[in-house]
A = this chain, B = another copy of it.
Amino acid sequence: MTSIRSDARLEHSLYEITRLLEKHRVLEDLAHRQEGPKRDLLEGLQHRQNLAELQRRLRTMHAADVAFVLEALSPDDRTTVWEQLDPEQAGRVFVELSEAVLHSVIETTPRDRLVGTLMTLDPDDLGYLSEALPSDVVNEVSAAFELVDRQAFEASTRYDEDQVGHHMSHEWIAVAETHTIQQALSELRKRGELPPQTDRLFVVDARNILRGALTLPTLLLTDPGSPVVGCVEPETVSFGPSERVHQAASAFERYDLVSAPVVDDRGKLVGRLTVDAVMDFVRDEAELRALKRAGLTREEDLFAPPLDSARNRAPWLAVNLVTAFLASRVIGQFEHTIRELAALATLMPIVASIGGNTGNQTMAVMIRALAGDQVRGPGAVRLLNKEVIVSLLNGTVWGLIVGIAASTLYSSLALGAVMTAAVVLNLLVAAVAGVTIPLGLHSRGRDPAFGSSVLLTFVTDAMGFFLFLGLATAFLS
């Protein structure tokens, strides 16, 4: 009977593990330096004691905490810790690891140990991990499952990672609609325990068609003689296995759900979606979106080998290089004007930069709205109108300030006027691009965040250079 403040616990565990690992490294170093028979017995003993203490410490920790510690460690330390876990705990830790670290652990674990660890998992968890694992390992492990488990495993691998079916659990408790509360209770007692995150039982008819849900509070508070059918929740939100998890997550948030039934097209109960799976998904999605905006296609292990990281980031850099080159060709067309008035080269990045910035602001608001499914036909037009007005307001204010600064700096009223006009027009371009780019990506079924930033910067750079240098060529020379 202990109550632990969550913040202190993890901090303390990480500190202790790090201390034991430091000692481990020192002892390893000593052992390597003194080769052969000269190896000190006492040090060997210390080394073993240290590892035993590490094992003891790890065994008291929650699997999610061990995963957290593993992610914060360098690859060498990670392997040391990983080797100290017994298969049962290693399996639970496996499920909690982030994708990037999962890959590195799978690569460094010997095949036998990997199979042994995976054997301890239930089919839902194996399904969850299957995409990251070598397929021969998955086959060997799933072949050892009993029939019903193998079926559950195969069902969860049938769906994509962004579908409800991939994340649903195959453990739930169903009650026949013809039973009484008393009968439901005694069935529960026979089972002995409930699956995690069970806040309701699912009521089904003789053909396994979902009829509703019976919450645990109802079970506790209702007269045991009542028929189940009279106690079900008036409305049960359910999901389809091919529905997008993103949408299910919104529903969990809107209706404050803890668990919900998954039903197929005929209404038959096929799975259960729980709030922990949904929350993991929401968090992963938010993090991935931030990485995607910077042009990283997948999660990256903090301590991945530099070559892997370089490769992960290269494609996007290549795209950026091409767009930057294309934008620079716009400048190339005006080299004669720049030769006459080098001040243009100094001022043109300002026009491009302020356009990119306002466009990104518009886009951030748009992406948020699109992610929430709140933009539809006439709404999009209204939004575009609004953004155009905002850009004209901001463009006039900041364009004038920039223009005054430029004309003072170079003692040329005409240069200032060109600068102001270019800023106002480029902000208009930025507003239109900021609305239409994410809208275009979204309507073609793409994630509106992915690649939008590079596309937008290309437009605002190229148009910024073109507007400023074009106006200057027309009016200043």
Residues of A whose CB lies within 8 Å of any CB of B are 1-7, 9, 14, 62, 64-65, 68, 71-72, 74, 96, 185, 188-189, 192-194, 196-199, 210-212, 216-217, 219-221, 229, 232, 234-240, 243, 247-248, 251-256, 258, 261, 263, 267, 275-276, 278-280, 282-283, 286-287, 289-291, 293-296, 300, 302-303, 306-307, 309-310, 313-314, 316-318, 320-321, 324-325, 327-329, 331-332, 335-336, 338-339, 342-350, 352-354, 357-358, 360-361, 363-365, 367-369, 371-376, 379, 382-383, 386, 389-390, 393-394, 397-398, 401-402, 405, 449, 454, 457, 461, 465
- Do A390 and B320 have beta carbons less than 8 Å apart? no
Q: Which residues on the B side are within 8 Å of A256 (C-beta)?
A: 196-197, 276
**Measured between alpha carbons, how far is A286 from B283 in the docked complex, in Å?**
8
Q: Using Cβ atoms and an 8 Å threshold, which residues of chain B touch A335? A: 342-343, 345-346
CB distance from A75 to the nearest CB of B (A): 10
Query: Can you name the residue of chain B whose Cβ is closest to the Cβ of A314?
Result: B394
> Across chains A and B, which 4 residue pairs bring their CB atoms closest together, nearest first?
A286-B286, A64-B254, A294-B364, A345-B345
What CA separation (Å) do A253 and B98 show in the bound complex? 13
Closest-CB distance, A16 to chain B (whole angstroms)? 14
**Copies of the chain in the assembly:** 2
**Measured between alpha carbons, how far is A201 from B361 in the docked complex, in Å?**
46
Pick the residue among B3, B255, B278 that contacts A236 (CB under 8 A).
B3
| CB–CB B368/A197 < 8 A | no
Assembled-state Cα–Cα distance A105/B77 (Å): 54
A288 smallest CB distance to B (angstroms): 9
Q: How far is the CB of A175 from chain B (nearest CB, A)?
A: 13
* B365:A291 contact, CB within 8 angstroms: yes
CB-CB under 8 A from A210, the residues of chain B are 3
Identify the closest chain B residue to A209 (Cβ): B3
- Residues from chain B with a CB closer than 8 A to the CB of A401 are 321
- A-B contact sample (11 more), CB < 8 A, given A335-B342, A349-B461: A2-B236, A3-B238, A3-B261, A4-B235, A65-B254, A72-B373, A197-B258, A278-B279, A306-B386, A314-B394, A317-B394
A313 touches B390 (CB 8 A): yes
Among A14, A189, A365, the most chain B Cβ lie within 10 Å of the Cβ of: A365
* A217 neighbours in B (Cβ, 8 Å): 193-194, 198, 216
Bound complex: CA A314 to CA B390 (Å) = 10
**Residue of B at shortest CB range from A190?**
B221
Max chain B Cβ within 10 angstroms of own Cβ: one of A252, A286, A457: A286
Q: Report if A267-B338 is in contact (Cβ < 8 Å); known contacts: A71-B374, A275-B279, A349-B324.
A: no
**By the criterion CB–CB under 8 Å, are A72 and B379 in contact?**
yes
A57 to chain B, nearest CB (A): 16
A72 B376 Cβ-Cβ under 8 A: yes
Query: Contact between A461 and B279 (Cβ–Cβ < 8 Å)?
Result: no
Contact of A275 among B62, B258, B382, B393 (CB under 8 A): B258
Residue from B62, B211, B325 in contact with A405 in the complex, judged by beta carbons closer than 8 Å: B325
Q: A65-B254, A345-B338, A382-B303 are in contact. Are A290 and B368 (CB under 8 A)?
A: yes
Contact partner of A221 (CB less than 8 A), chosen from B192, B317, B327, B329, is B192
Residue of B nearest to A185 (CB): B220
In the complex, what residues of B have CB within 8 A of residue A221's CB? Answer: 188-189, 192-194
Pick from A4, A348, A394 the residue with the most CB of B within 10 Å.
Answer: A394
A237, B6: Cβ atoms closer than 8 Å = yes
Tell me how far the C-beta of A79 lies from the nearest C-beta in chain B, rounded to whole angstroms. 16
Decide: A374 near B72, CB < 8 A? Known: A254-B96, A256-B196, A306-B390: yes
In the bound complex, how far is the Cα of B365 from the Cα of A71, in angstroms?
13
A331-B345 contact in complex given A220-B185, A258-B275, A354-B317, C-beta closer than 8 Å: yes
Which B residues lie within 8 Å of A325 (CB)? 350, 402, 405
In the complex formed, the residue of B with least CB distance to A357 is B320
Chain B: which residue is nearest A457 at the CB level? B353
Chain B neighbourhood of A237, CB < 8 A: 4, 6, 9
A293: chain B residues at CB < 8 Å are: 290, 293, 364
Contacts of A287 in B (CB 8 A): 286, 368, 371
Contact of A310 among B345, B390, B402 (CB under 8 A): B390
A319 to chain B, nearest CB (A): 9
On whether the beta carbons of B327 and A349 are closer than 8 Å, the reply is: yes
Ordered by A's residue number, 13 sampled pairs between the chains whose C-beta atoms are within 8 Å are A4-B236, A6-B243, A189-B221, A197-B258, A198-B217, A287-B371, A294-B364, A302-B375, A302-B383, A320-B353, A328-B350, A331-B349, A349-B349
